[in-house]
Amino acid sequence: MSATMTEDTPAKGVVGTRMLRREDPALLSGEARYVHDLVVPGALHMAVVRSPYAHARVTSVDVSGALGMPGVAAAFSGADLAGEWGSAMPCAWPVTADMQSPPHFPVALNEACYVGDAVAVVLAGSQAEAQDAAGAVAVVYEELPAAVDLEDAASDRVLAHSDLSSNRAYTWELTPDADAVTRAFDAAAVTVKERYVQQRLIPAAMEPRGVCVVPQPFGGEYLVYSATQIPHILRTMLGITAGVPEERIRVVAPSVGGGFGSKLDVYAEELLCLVLSRRLRKPVRWSEERSEAAQATIHGRGQVQEIELAADTDGRVQAVRVRLLADMGAYMQLVTPGVPLLGAFLYHGVYDVAAYSFTCTGVFTNKTPTDAYRGAGRPEATYAIERAMDALARKVGTDPAEVRRRNFIGADKFPYASAAGLLFDSGNYEGALDAALELVDYEGLREEQARRRGQGASKLLGVGLSSYVEMCGLAPSRVLASLNYVAGGWEAATVRMLPTGKVQVVTGATPHGQGHVTSWSMIIADKLGVSPEDVEVLHSDTAVSPLGLDTYGSRSLAVGGTAIALAADRLIDKARLLAAHRLEVAPEDLELSSGQFSVRGSPSSAMALGALAFEAFTAHDLPQGMEPNLEASATYDPTNFTFPFGTHVAVVEVDAETGKVDLVRYSAVDDCGNQINPLIVDGQVHGGIVQGVAQALFEEAVYDDDGNLLTTTFTDYLVPAASEVPSFSLGRTVTPSPSNPLGVKGIGEAGTIASTPAVVNAVVDALSHLGVVDIAMPVTPERVWRSIGAAAPGTGGGR
Amino acid sequence: MIPASFEYRRAGSVEEALGWLAEDPDSTKLLAGGHSLLPLMKLRLATPGVLVDVGRIPGLNYVRDDGDHVAIGALTRHRDLEVSDVARGHVPLLAHVAGQVGDPQVRHRGTIGGSLAHGDPASDLPAAVLALDGTMVVDGPRGRREVQAADFFRGFLETALAPDEMLTEVRVHKAPAGWGFQKFNRRAQDWAIVGVAAVVNGDARVALVNMGPTTLRARATEEALDAGANIADAAARAAEGLDPPSDLNGSAEYRRHLATVLVRRALEEATAARG
C-alpha cells in the first residue's frame, strides 16, 4: 500500500504538514458568530416550561398567568400546538421491525416522561421576559411512579410510559454461529465473566444549543439557524415533522461550538421555533442554558454490560459472548436505538476470536433520552473487552501486554473477516502496542511499581493498557440498509475553479470544531497546485451545499474528504481535455505538476490550471461539446468502514490513604492511516483522551431515586480541565486504509474510545496486589478508598 | 441563568454603601467580586432587590504591615494577596491559600472580604483566617466594631455581620512559619471536599473546610495536642464531634476519614516548616 494520494500529487505538498488551522483566528479572536450572537430584529424569545417530575400525568396547563406578564406575546400548552405537527418527532433507526417507540412530541400532550420534558412554551420580547413569564405558567401534575434504574426498568416493575406494555423497546442479536459459541464455552479451560456499568454522560459541548427561525417575508419560506451538526438531515426531518415542504426550509449552521454527537439530532426546540414562527409570522429564537442543556440535550452511554470470554490455559480467547441493557431514556431520539449497534461488532476488540455472540435490549427509563456521544457504541465495546482482557490476564497469571500479544489479529491477516461479520481493512496491532510500550518505558514502570509495593509506599503506581480498533467512516449505504437505518452514508462535494484561479469547495460535511476548512484546503492545494489560502470552503448552509449527510462518526475525512478528492480529479480530467485542445496534443501526453499541465518531453509547452479556468470561463475556445467553466462534483459512497487502531497506556498514582487517583503519565500510539494534518490529529487525540479520562475518573449524570437529575451545573458535573491531566506522549504508526483513495481512516473518536479502559485498568492495576479487581466509573476517590478497605481490611481503607 | 430583576447601584465610598444598605438591609446585597453572589442569583437561589456594587470603592485593596499584624483591605483580590510580598513574608499561609481558591479567573475577581462575608463552609480563606485567629473590622450605622474570627462564622452562609454592616478589613497576626494547608478535591478548580489550615506556634490552631455547616476548628485535635499527644494520635481525633455533609463528592463517613488524614498532613507540614 502506498502513502501517496494519486499519481499526480506533487512530491512536496502541504498534505502531511502541521499547518495551523485556518479556522482559528476567527474562533480565538471572538470574530466567529454563533446562533446566540445573531441579531434578528423583532424576534420573539422562547422559554420552555419543563416538567419537574420524572413521570407525571399533565392534568392541566394554564398559560393565562404568563400572558399577563411584561413583554409576553404568546404562550402555548402541548394541546394548543397539537395541530401543528405533521408527525411525531423522528427516529431514523428502528433497529428491529417490532421496536417500540412511543410517540414523542415537542411539547408533551398528556404525560411528561422525564425531568425536563417540555409541557409549555412562552414567547416574549426578550429572553429575560420569557423566562420570568415561564414561571407564571400553572401546570397541574399527577405524579406517577418513575422507572429510574436501568435494570429495574428492564424488569417492568414500573412502566416509563403508561401506554407501553413493557419498557423493553427491542432486543437485537448478532450471533452468526450459536453452536460455535456454545462449543467454545463448553470446551474452555478458562472463562471470564465480567459486569460493567457505563454511566450516563452529559456531552457538555462548549456552546449549548441554540435555534433561530426567521420566516421570509414572501413565499412562506423559513431560514433556520441552528447550532447543529446536521443541517441537511435537519432540513429533511423538519419538513416531515412540521409539515413544511422541504424546499421552503433553508438550514444554516453558523459557527458551532462542538457537539460530540449531541447536536446530531432533531430536537423539540428546533421544531418549536419553526412552527411558532409559522404561527406567529415572526422570527422565533431560543438559546439553551447550561443547566437546561444538562436535562434537555441528549445524554451518552448508559449501559449495563455483561461480557464473557472463553479461553485456553494460555489465555488465548476462543469466544466472546456479550449481553447488554441499553438505557434509551424516555424517548427515541434520532439514532438512540442504533447506538449500541455501532459497538455490536467490536466486542472482540483487536483479537482473533472464532466465535461471537452479542445481544442488546434497549430499555425505556424516565430520564433524558440518550443518543450518540463521542464514539457511540465503540467506547462501550472497547471498555468491556479491554477490561475483560485484563481480568483474563490476572486469571491466567500473565502480564496484560502479553495476553494481548497472544490474541492479536496478526498483521498478515488483513483484510480480516471477523466472526462478527466485518471486514477489517488494514492493521498492525502488535506494532502499535510495541511502540506504545516503548514510549512509556513499560519495563521501567513495572520495576518501579514492584519497588513501591515492596517499600509499602503510600503512593501506589498503576499501569493500564488499552488496545483498540474502531469502525468509522460512516458508512456504506448498503450496510446501513442491512442495519435498518433509514438513510445512506455517502457524502457529496463540488470543486469549482473561479476565473482568477481561486478555488471554491462545497462540502456536505458540516464542521463544528474539527478543522474541515483547513483539511479540505490542504487536499485541494496539493491536487490543484494552489495555496491553501486560495481555497474557499463552503459548508453548513443547505442553500449553498444542498446535498450532504453531515459530520459524525469520524466520517468526514474518509467519506467527505474522499468526495472532495474525487471531485478535484474530475475537474482535473476536464482541464486536461481543455489543455490538450489548446496545446494541440493528446490528453495522455500531458502531465500535471504543481498546478501546471505540460507536454511530456517538451516542458516549455504548458498551461497552468488557473489559466485554463479563465479559458473555461470565457468559453471562447473550448473543445467541441465541452461545457464552460471548471467545475466538478462527486458523491462518494464508501465501500467499507475504516478501522483505526492503536494502543494507549495510562500511568496513575493512587494515594492509598485518601483514594485519590493522579494520572501522571499517558502515552498514545494511534494509527489513523494517512494523515492530512498531523497537528489536527494531535488535537483530536488530546481532546479525545481527556473526554475518555472524564468518563473514567470524573463525569456522571447522577439521578436520585425519584428521577431528578442532580448534576445540572459544572459544580456537580465534573468536566476535567487541563490541570487534571498530564502532558501526553503521542506516537503514530501509519497503515493506510485500502478502502479509499486517500488511504485515511478517521481520528475524531479514537482518543475517547481508547482512554477510558486504559485509565480504569491502571487504577485496578495499582491496587491489584490488594485484591481489587474492579471499581465502578467514575473512579472517585471515595470509591477507591472503599475498594481498598473492602479488599484489604485493616489497611485503613473504608468499608 | 438570567437573574431575577434587581436594581444596581455603584457605591463610591463605604459611607454611601452603608447608607444604601440601611434603606432596606434585608433585600440589599453588597457586590464585590461577584463570584459567589452572582452564580446564586443566576440560579435564582438569591433574589436581592438592590445590588450595591462596592467593587470600585477606593482605598480598600491593600495588604499592609501593621507591626505585630498584617491588615488586609476587604476588596483585596485573591490574586493580589497571593503575590503580596507582605503576605508572603509575614502570613505565608494566607498568601498560599489565596492561590488555591478556584481558578485564575476567580482569583482575579474574587475578594477576601467577599469570601469571608459569604460564610461558605466550603471556602478556603475563612479556614485560613480562623487558623490565624484573625480579626474582622466591620463598619455599620452603629459605628465600627471588631469581631474575632472565632465568633464570626455562625452557620451555613451566616456570619456575625448584621444585614446593614460591611466588612472592611481583616487583620491577622504575623505567622511567618509553622503553618500547613491541605486541600482535597477532585479537580484543581473545585471547592475542597475537605480542607485543613493549621498554624502551630506554641499552641496549635486547626481549622477545617467543609466539615460542617460553617468553618470549624478541630477542637478535639487541638486539645489532644495541648495535652501532649503526638500528631498522628491528635489527627485521628480530627472529626470528633463533627457532622460533615454528604454530597456527590463524598459521604460524611469519607469526609471524617479525610479529615484525619489531612489534619495529620497539615500538622506535619506545619511542624516541618517550623522546624
pLDDT (tens digit per residue) in A158-172:
999 999 999 999 999
- State how beta strands A355-364 and A317-329 pair: parallel
Domain residue limits at B263: 179-274
| A116 and A226 both lie in a single domain | yes
Element (H, E) at A19: none
Lowest mean pLDDT among A211-220, A392-401, B72-81, B180-189: A211-220
Q: Considering CB atoms only, which of B187, B189, B257 is closest to A785?
A: B257
Q: Considering CB atoms only, which of A291, A718, A786 is closest to B186?
A: A718
Position B2 in a domain: no
Q: Do A132 and B184 touch (CB under 8 A)?
A: no
- The band of A793, judged by pLDDT with boundaries at 50, 70 and 90, is low
Q: Do A781 and B188 touch (CB under 8 A)?
A: no
Position A181 in a domain: no
* DSSP codes of every residue in A258-275: --TTTTSS--HHHHHHHH
| B186 and B268 both lie in a single domain | yes
Residue B187: half-sphere exposure toward Cβ, Cα within 13 Å = 20
Domain residue limits at A583: 24-32+490-636
Total domain count, chain A: 3
Residue A611 Cα distances to A294, A502, A755, B244, angstroms: 54, 11, 50, 77
- The band of A6, judged by pLDDT with boundaries at 50, 70 and 90, is very low
Q: Do A713 and B189 touch (CB under 8 A)?
A: no
Q: Considering CB atoms only, which of B2, B189, B253 is closest to A721?
A: B189
Give dist(CA A109, CA A106) in Å, integer.
9
| A76 and A218 both lie in a single domain | yes
What CATH code is carried by the domain that includes residue B82?
3.30.465.10
Instruction: Give A139→chain B minimum CA distance, Å.
Output: 20
Percent of chain A with pLDDT over 70: 98
Nearest chain A residue to B191 by CA: give it. Answer: A715
Mean pLDDT of A531-555: 96
Instruction: Give B120→chain A minimum CA distance, Å.
Output: 15
Mean pLDDT of A420-426: 97
pLDDT digits (tens, 9 = 90+) for B110-121: 999 999 999 999
Residue A155 identity: S
- The band of A500, judged by pLDDT with boundaries at 50, 70 and 90, is very high
Q: Considering CB atoms only, which of A128, A721, A782 is closest to B250?
A: A782
| B40 and B128 both lie in a single domain | no
**Residue A698 has what pLDDT?**
98
| B209 and B140 both lie in a single domain | no
pLDDT at A4 over 60: no
| A87 and A224 both lie in a single domain | yes
**Residue B176 has what pLDDT?**
93
**Residue A5 has what pLDDT?**
35
Mean pLDDT of A238-267: 97
Position B130 in a domain: yes
| A549 and A653 both lie in a single domain | no
**Residue B201 has what pLDDT?**
87
Query: Which residues, in sequence order, are CB contacts of B56 under 8 Å at separation 6+?
Result: B10, B11, B12
Residue appearing with cell numbers 485498568: A761
Position B76 in a domain: yes
- What SS3 class is residue A394? helix
**Residue A268 has what pLDDT?**
98
Residues of chain A contacting residue B257, judged by C-beta atoms under 8 Å apart: 785, 798
- Best of B44, B45, B100, B186 to mutate (most A CBs within 10 Å, chain A): B186
**Residue A219 has what pLDDT?**
73
pLDDT at A542 over 90: yes
- State how beta strands A423-424 and A416-417 pair: antiparallel
Residues of chain A contacting residue B190, judged by C-beta atoms under 8 Å apart: 715, 718
Query: Which residues, in sequence order, are CB contacts of A213 under 8 Å at separation 6+?
Result: A222, A223, A224, A225, A273, A274, A276, A277, A283, A284, A285
Position A190 in a domain: no
Residues of chain B contacting residue A46, judged by C-beta atoms under 8 Å apart: none
Residue appearing with cell numbers 414561571: A135
What CATH code is carried by the domain that includes residue A227?
3.90.1170.50
Q: Considering CB atoms only, which of A132, A702, A720 is closest to B187?
A: A720
Q: Do B186 and A710 touch (CB under 8 A)?
A: no
Instruction: Give B174→chain A minimum CA distance, Å.
Output: 32
**Residue B146 has what pLDDT?**
98
Position A189 in a domain: no
**Nearest C-alpha neighbor of A650 from the set A726, A702, A580:** A726
- The band of B223, judged by pLDDT with boundaries at 50, 70 and 90, is very high
**Residue A217 has what pLDDT?**
82
| B169 and B207 both lie in a single domain | no
Mean pLDDT of A49-63: 98
Position A441 in a domain: yes
Q: Do A132 and B250 touch (CB under 8 A)?
A: no
How many residue pairs bridge chain A and chain B with CB atoms within 8 Å of each other? Answer: 57
| A94 and A109 both lie in a single domain | yes
Position B1 in a domain: no
**Residue B273 has what pLDDT?**
56
| B196 and B250 both lie in a single domain | yes
Nearest chain A residue to B265 by CA: give it. Answer: A657
Query: Are A436 and A731 within 8 A, CB to CB?
Result: yes
**Residue A3 has what pLDDT?**
35
| B77 and B168 both lie in a single domain | yes
pLDDT at B274 over 60: no
Total domain count, chain B: 3
Question: What value does the mean pLDDT of chain B take?
Answer: 96
pLDDT digits (tens, 9 = 90+) for A692-723: 999 999 999 999 999 999 999 999 999 999 99
Q: Does A29 touch chain B if contact means CB atoms closer than 8 Å?
A: no
Give dist(CA A40, CA A283) in Å, integer.
8
Position A160 in a domain: no
What CATH code is carried by the domain that includes residue A561?
3.30.365.10
- The band of A1, judged by pLDDT with boundaries at 50, 70 and 90, is very low
> What phi and psi values does residue A34 have, to the nearest 5 degrees?
-100, 170
**Residue A20 has what pLDDT?**
97
**Residue A8 has what pLDDT?**
43
Q: Do A716 and B187 touch (CB under 8 A)?
A: no
pLDDT at B207 over 50: yes
Percent of chain A with pLDDT over 90: 96
What CATH code is carried by the domain that includes residue B22?
3.30.43.10
pLDDT at A799 over 60: no
| A593 and A678 both lie in a single domain | no
Picking from A584, A616, A636, the residue at the C-terminal end of a domain is A636
pLDDT at B74 over 90: yes
Q: Does A628 touch chain B if contact means CB atoms closer than 8 Å?
A: no
| A329 and A417 both lie in a single domain | yes
